[in-house]
Structure 1
Amino acid sequence: MSEENESTLPNLVTIVGRGVPSNYEITVDGELELVGADPLEEATVVTDHSAEGAVDTGVMRFRFSGELANIHVVDWNGVPAPESPSTPTVHVDYGVPGRSNSS
């Protein structure tokens, strides 16, 4: 991701899998971009304002502008959070600078 995209997409949403297949949908009122993964390999559908896909283990990160409009996570049986302890954990951070090369 370029520094230009980091400044125009200053916010970050992180989805952390809990070791079981789960689905997620994200919608923002600005622009949205998958960070550090190939959408085809991750089976993630990303449009300008939304993303949906599956996560089992690992982390999915998206940078976005504007506000998070909606997020929906469900476990493999379609049970949503917080009713299911197996749904992914979601973190939303506003105004997050991009990673530096000094790490």
Structure 2
Amino acid sequence: MARDKPVQNSTSSTQQATKLPNLVTLVGRGIPSRFEIAVDGEIEMVDANPLETATIVAGGVAEGTIDVGVQRFRFSGEMANVHVADWNGNTAPTSKSVPVVHVDYGIER
């Protein structure tokens, strides 16, 4: 009996890095905060379920909340805007509780 070739539905990390070569990382500081990231290309959450982390990704925008831990997003194009605010609505540099944001361009993995 002949076997069919397996079909791969998921994208490998190398293919994802080629398609979305840039990375933005948010690091929570223990205070509930909200964020919005806008890029002029595509954006996709990495290694997390957006429903579990209350993150919405649509078009070139990701928005959600974070208090502890790390959330990562791969994107294409350039970063257009990042807005972070603590639970009182205070932004950096006024609030030292907002998440730390790291943007890296041309990351392979």
TM category (shorter chain) comes to: over 0.9
Q: Which residue of 1 is the match for residue 55 of structure 2?
A: 44
Q: CA separation in 1, counterparts of 2:94 and 2:40?
A: 27
Report whether the alignment pairs 1:90 with 2:98: no
2:15 match: secondary structure: helix
Query: What is the CA-CA distance between 1:4 and the residue it aligns to?
Result: 1.5
Query: Structure 2 length normalisation: TM-score?
Result: 0.87
Aligned structure 1 segments of 4 or more residues deviating by more than 3 angstroms: none
Structure 1 residue 48: deviation in Å? 2.2
1:16 aligns with 2:34: no
- Aligned residues between the structures: 98
2:26 aligns to what SS in structure 1? strand
The corresponding residue for 2:16 is: 5
Structure 1 residue aligned with 2:81: 70
| Distance in structure 1 (CA, Å) of the matches to 2:40 and 2:64 | 19
Structure 2: where are the runs of 5+ without partners?
1-10
Deviation, 1:82, is 1.3
List per-residue Cα deviations over 1:15-44 (Å, max 9, x = no partner): 000001000000000000000000000000
Equivalent residue letter for 2:38: T
Q: Deviations over 1:33-85 (max 9, x none)?
A: 00000000000000120000000000000000000000000001000111100
Counterpart of 2:38 in 1: which secondary structure?
strand
Query: When the two structures are superposed, what TM-score results if normalisation uses the length of structure 1?
Result: 0.92
Residue 59 (str. 1) matches residue 70 (str. 2): yes
Asked if the contact 1:31–1:65 (Cα under 8 Å) also holds between the matched residues in 2, the reply is: yes
Cα RMSD between the aligned structures? 0.8
Q: Say if 1:33 and 1:48, in contact at 8 Å, map to a contact too.
A: no
